[in-house]
Amino acid sequence: MMKLHLNPLSVIFFFLFGAAMSSKQHDYSDALSKSILFFEGQRSGYLPNDQRVPWRRNSGLSDGWTHNTDLTGGYYDAGDNVKFNFPMAFTTTMLAWSVIEFGELMPPPELRNALVALRWSSDYLLKSVSQLPNRIFVQVGDPIADHNCWERPEDMDTPRTAYVVNAPNPASEVAGEITAALSAASIAVRSSDPGYSQTLLQNAVKTFQFADMHRGAYSSNDDIKNDVCPFYCDFNGFQDELLWGAAWLRKATGDESYLSYIESNREPFGASENVDEFGWDNKIGGLNVLVSKEVIAGNMYNLEAYKASAESFMCSLVPESPGQHVEYTPGGLLYKPGGSQLQHATTISFLLLVYAQYLSRSSLSLNCGSLSVPPDHLRRLAKKQVDYILGENPMGLSYMVGYGERYPKRIHHRGSSLPSIVDHPGTIGCKDGSVYFNSTEPNPNVLIGAVVGGPEEDDKYDDDRSDFRKSEPTTYINAPFVGVLAYFAANPSFS
């Protein structure tokens, strides 16, 4: 088998795409701190005394009142003021996985901040499943009304509708992802708060029972589908979330029944096809990597098919390998059709690092046909994505707000773009914010650490608030980036 040898002083990979490599040294520790701080700018509910984003205040304090339920807390997923539980749960899973895999590499203050960010969302998710076994909350806030307004979360006067699914109606994709989130969070906090860990795990089990017993998509419910599908409808089906949730329960509990579930349902649930994607609406790429550890470290060869798919995914990221490959922009950014490109760069970079960890701990390499790829090469591929985001790109622009000398100043984000309550105590109504939305001035409040959607396939980026596909940050872009940055902050000289 041919081995891949790379000169760390002249990584050749992206020369294939015509992108010149920079020798710039990044402050990954600073980027890590800022990537976690971002979540404090997305908080909903009562803010604590140690809140570090000073231009935010309490918001969404009546959430859940129409159902006599406390649904305060959690995160606004992006630049709007809606709490979408599906992507929020994925955000939670990825924050937890970041801590599980890379928490030991984080400086103690940043590990604490990461756990605080994790608990802010896991506390909310516990509220959303508090009425199981027969009811689950899937969203708070009318997205149509919200998106027709440009106002601060502190001023919200749009309906704070709590969207609920009652059994036997299905919500498998949301419940499956919440299962994964609570299970992963239970592992992440097990050593620091064992009692809370147990609470998370008990609720994860109940949530999975709902997801599996009432199979189907939450968007199939007539009374809510018009308010979820324009935004976070899972177009890849709900079966991947069932496997994903079961895999995390297996990791959290060691229960053989979950092992049997992911083994026996892989083909019936359509997870046997090789998938080169991982994100809030498609878990297959992450599922394969997560389960592959059972094979690599635990010799669970009955799960070999998952490892084979994970290897196929990893090989598709290595241009020197035979077979099909993912697309990259001329500047070297992972590219998928659609908006918010950097969500792919952060999630896939995370998987590259995690898989490299699994291989390294077992002294293995990635086998891509006749090519043997060492774990460090996967880390180099991830580092290229990180460095692109932090400024090594054709625009010479950092796509993390507040990092570097040049970064987006006009992001698509209500709270950031409107004057803060400190500077403008009076209410800014639904349509009154339009003048700020249409302004060409930089946002008055810097949402430090926010990673925006990023450029398109031509590597070009216009700092335009109205172009939400490029300029809107999301929690699920940042969450995996926390783990990625933790690795490179601990290994700053890696090249």
| Integer CA distances (angstroms), 97 to 90, 400, 484, in order | 10, 21, 11
Token pair of 181 as six digits: 């989130």
Q: Rounded CA gap, 9 and 50, in Å? A: 44
Cis previous bond, 159, omega within 30: no
> Which residues are part of the catalytic machinery?
412, 463, 472
141: left (phi over 0), alpha (psi -120 to 50) or beta: left
CB 253 within 8 A of CB 246: no
Taking the C-alpha atoms of residue 372 and residue 28, their distance in angstroms, rounded to an integer, is 29
Phi/psi for 165 (5° steps) reads: -120, 125
Place of tokens 């203050």: 109
* Separation between Cα atoms, residue 443 and residue 441, nearest integer Å: 6
Strand partners, 165: 136
Instruction: Name 279's bridge partners.
Output: 282
Q: Return the SS3 of 83.
A: strand
Rg of the chain in Å (alpha carbons): 22
Q: How many whole angstroms separate alpha carbon 128 and alpha carbon 31?
A: 32
The Cα–Cα gap between 435 and 490 comes to 44
What is the total residue count of the chain? 495
Residues 6+ apart with CB under 8 A from 183: 200, 201, 204, 245, 248, 249, 251, 252, 253
Cα(293)–Cα(299) distance, integer angstroms: 9
> With 0-12 CB in 10 A as exposed, 13-18 as middle and 19+ as buried, what is 265?
middle
Q: Tokens representing 226?
A: 């018009």
Q: Which of helix, strand or coil describes residue 401?
A: coil
Dihedral sign, Cα of residue 269, residue 271, residue 273, residue 278 = positive
